[in-house]
Amino acid sequence: MGNGKQISLAVIRRLPRYYRYLQELLENNVGRISSMELSAKMNITASQIRQDLNNFGCFGQQGYGYNVELLFKEIGKILGVGRDYSLIVIGAGNIGQALAKYENFVKRGYNIVGIFDNNPAVIGKPVGRLVVEDIEKLDDFVGSRSVDIAVLAIPSKNVPSAMRKIIALGVKGIWNFSAVDLDAPPDIEIENVHLTDSLMTLSYKLSNETVN
Amino acid sequence: MGNGKQISLAVIRRLPRYYRYLQELLENNVGRISSMELSAKMNITASQIRQDLNNFGCFGQQGYGYNVELLFKEIGKILGVGRDYSLIVIGAGNIGQALAKYENFVKRGYNIVGIFDNNPAVIGKPVGRLVVEDIEKLDDFVGSRSVDIAVLAIPSKNVPSAMRKIIALGVKGIWNFSAVDLDAPPDIEIENVHLTDSLMTLSYKLSNETVN
């Protein structure tokens, strides 16, 4: 799977949704499903579904559809489910603490191994199984283990210095909750969760007509 | 400006980003900017920017570019900045509590006026300026005031019953943090923040090549 072939980000973004739907089907003992049925559930056209899944060599059988369990496992493999990832949280404010304690991540193999802040008032405080550490200790911490992803949950003004630290330490993935878009070298992968942008989009939709 | 014209969701989703960039420019006393310069900053093509902004009647002047302050105000107006919105949070787990305490929302006019849960262990507990209320009291609460948006931060299995309650009470906007896609009548507006999907996308990108 993958084997060098470049898949568009739009397709990738739909995979976790397929994965969730398939899991639900499995839990309800559904053994097979057609692209038409998936389409009705997911609000994606059947032809889009077939195209998406063909990308990964998952071909449904004419008149039979997809084997739910096989497809679920295949998409899980593509997404790297079952691999373990090591995450640190930078910023022990409300959002940072909530993410550090979020149990759903551990179930999927995302292990949060540290949480850091520069505020003496929170350093040393417990957050779930962790204790907030001084951001000054980040170098030693990361130096002694491998960290896949840094979760950024800090005020915008602190982002540039935190980015420099993280990148210098060799962390390759950044999950960004700060309200700025990041400037990073091309070998760094970034996913943004801009909460206020999402809320502004919702309130726009509430007061205006939009089309998909 | 709105006036009945339907704008695509892809354009709308970029508006909060424009808004953030323009705010930054304003704070740095930049008075005007060309679509080329905005393009370099935002990683969107200049022609896309001109097209996006033309939708709203914001025309840059040839050889001058856009007036930053005017454009900032115009986009703010389109997004409904300055209007006040009333939000309730359903679910006082880690994420629900963090959102209820998130100060950036209030600054933008998003006022969280209540937080609800069905768990006796958290009902009555303080969350910032609020106290967690029994979900059974939701009817009385919403009945006595206007609520624009319900933030859903509950386990998937509780989503259908919560959705029925919220919709029956006339709330028209749902900001969904639960790990399911919602089934709602067409007059209900939904924005999803699927945290685990986002994290899975990031880890896919870390182990595979993707294209935009």
Residue count of chain B = 212
- Whether the CB-CB separation of B145 and B86 falls below 8 Å is answered with yes
Instruction: State whether A203 and B102 contact (CB < 8 Å).
Output: no
How many Cβ contacts (< 8 angstroms) between chains A and B?
199
**What average pLDDT does this structure show over B22-41?**
91
Q: What are the pLDDT digits (tens) for A69-88?
A: 999 999 998 888 888 999 99
Residue B108 has pLDDT above 90, yes or no: no
Instruction: State whether B201 and A6 contact (CB < 8 Å).
Output: no
**What average pLDDT does this structure show over B57-84?**
86
**Which has the higher per-residue pLDDT, B57 or A152?**
A152
Q: What is the pLDDT of residue A2?
A: 42
Q: What is the pLDDT of residue A5?
A: 62
Instruction: State whether B80 and A200 contact (CB < 8 Å).
Output: yes
- Angle, CA of B207, A93 and A104, to the nearest 5°: 45
**For every one of its 212 residues, what pLDDT tens digit does chain A have, with 9 covering 90 and above?**
444 467 888 899 899 999 999 999 999 999 999 998 999 888 889 999 999 988 888 777 777 889 999 999 999 988 888 889 999 999 999 999 999 998 888 888 999 999 999 999 999 999 999 999 999 999 999 888 899 999 999 999 999 999 999 999 999 999 999 989 898 899 999 999 999 999 999 999 998 766 65
pLDDT band at B2 (very low <50, low <70, confident <90, very high): very low
Nearest chain B Cα distance for residue A104, angstroms: 8
Contacts of B183 in chain A (CB under 8 A): none
Angle of helix A9-27 relative to helix A35-42, nearest 10 degrees, comes to: 100
Whole-prediction pTM: 0.90
Residue B3 has pLDDT above 50, yes or no: no
Per-chain mean pLDDT for chain B:
90
Instruction: State whether A204 and B172 contact (CB < 8 Å).
Output: no
Instruction: State whether A203 and B173 contact (CB < 8 Å).
Output: yes
The owner of tokens 């060309």 is B34
With a CB cutoff of 8 Å and minimum separation 6, the contacts of A55 are A5, A7, A11
Host H or E run for residue B153: none
Instruction: State whether B196 and A16 contact (CB < 8 Å).
Output: yes
Query: Which of B13-17, B165-169, B205-209 has the lowest average pLDDT?
Result: B205-209
Instruction: State whether A9 and B212 contact (CB < 8 Å).
Output: yes
CA distance B74 to B58: 8
With a CB cutoff of 8 Å and minimum separation 6, the contacts of B101 are A94, B127, B128
CA distance B87 to B146: 9
Q: Which of B80, B204, B211 has its CB closest to that of A204?
A: B80
Q: Which of B12, B94, B102 has its CB closest to that of A210?
A: B12
Query: Where would I find the H helices in A90-194?
Result: 94-101, 103-107, 138-143, 159-168
CA distance B184 to B165: 12
- Which residue in A171, A192, A195, A208 has the most chain B C-beta atoms within 10 A of its own C-beta, making it the best mutation to test that interface? A208
Contacts of A99 in chain B (CB under 8 A): 94, 195
Q: B1-4: long-range contacts at Cβ-Cβ below 8 A with a sequence spacing of 24 or more? A: B1/B56, B1/B57, B1/B77, B1/B78, B2/A207, B2/A208, B2/A209, B2/B78, B4/A209
**What average pLDDT does this structure show over B18-30?**
93
- Angle, CA of A33, A36 and A38, to the nearest 5°: 55
